[in-house]
Structure 1
Amino acid sequence: VLSKWVGESEKAIREVFRRARQVAPCVVFFDEIDSIAPARGARYDSGVTDRIVNQLLTELDGIQPLRKVVVIAATNRPDILDPALLRPGRFDRLVYVPPPDYKARLEIFKVHTRRVPLASDVNLEELARLTEGYTGADIAAVVREAVMLALRERLEARPVEMKYFLKALEVVKPSLTKDQVEEYERLASEIKRMSSVARRAAPSPYG
């Protein structure tokens, strides 16, 4: 979306929604939306992100209605998003996805080790217990690192032992700390509360 040419970034947003209307029903997904829609006036980039936010708001508000088009976005920095995007009629359903708990981590390990030959001493339950604060991507990295450690020691096909997973945990650290998780939970509660207040304050379409 971002372009060094003036006006091209806004044009890219318009094109995304134009194509969405043409091929509806469809889903438009913006990953890491904070990179293109931070709070206006918060950056010194010649106003390009401000113009992108304005264009997004124009498309979402629907001079041309978005019939059968669902718009979804993901971010790990909800604190820097432009507040206007979270008002009713735009991104008005906010879902906080917490880091995986023990059961989820165990299932993630099972997925990523499905095609990895495991030695009899590998205990996925123990690995799930040891990986609190790890995201799904972190766990995938742990499995890859364990496989690479085994191959570096002896370049031949053989089961990956538990010791390699434990060594991998020393190399791959969790992405999230307890303080960060608590801050995300606080932000999720605050944004949800603000969104709820704005929804109640919004005028009814029925008068």
Structure 2
Amino acid sequence: MRATYKHDHPLCKRGKSHAQSPPLHIHFQQSETFSVVGGSIGTTTTYSAIDTIHTPPDTTTTGAATKPHEIAPWVPHSFWPDPNASQDTTILVWAHPNPDDMDEKMDRLFFQNLLMYVSDVAEGKEKLSVLQVMLTQHVSATALVWFPRAWFLGPLRWWIPYQFQALCALMARCAGMKPLIEKYMSENEWEEVQERMNNRGGGKVKAKKA
């Protein structure tokens, strides 16, 4: 996925409070890797909540193949626009491995649905549904991290949020919500989802209507 942050946009000046900046979280199955094409991007990583600003020299080598920054599974992390950026920032971000037979994964449609929904919420086009966000996140094998520096809590820092997320996802399904939202996909993309579900023996599912 290619993402661009406009350095002079009011939301980007909010840094970690940007609408598309997720809370600290971990992924169970996949690495999340990014490369900074231009500008600068911030990350918060590990249970120590270390903030780092990344620029193209940090993640690429001029005249050679890119050297992206990989965030491995189980490493707490978050992304946010650099509020002090002096130019627009463009990054490439992807999750891997991404085999067709992997359940509960982050893929292009996951990023597309979640980010477009959050953007619409920030712009007042959609009402925020915590249940919808928790459901979409739950099917990507992701868990939030609460109180990261509270070392004495150990794995409870992600286990308790994950149980809360699972409950919210169950409530969302009972309310008729679906992980993917049809308005954020083309007809071909939705057919791709249908085919994937059928191949897994799950039968057809219906996307949430706009």
**TM-score band, normalised by shorter chain:** under 0.3
TM-score scaled by length of structure 2: 0.23
Higher relative contact order (CA 8 A, sep 6+): 2
Question: Which has more radius of gyration?
Answer: 1
Name the one with the larger strand percent. Answer: 2
Name the one with the larger helix percent. Answer: 1
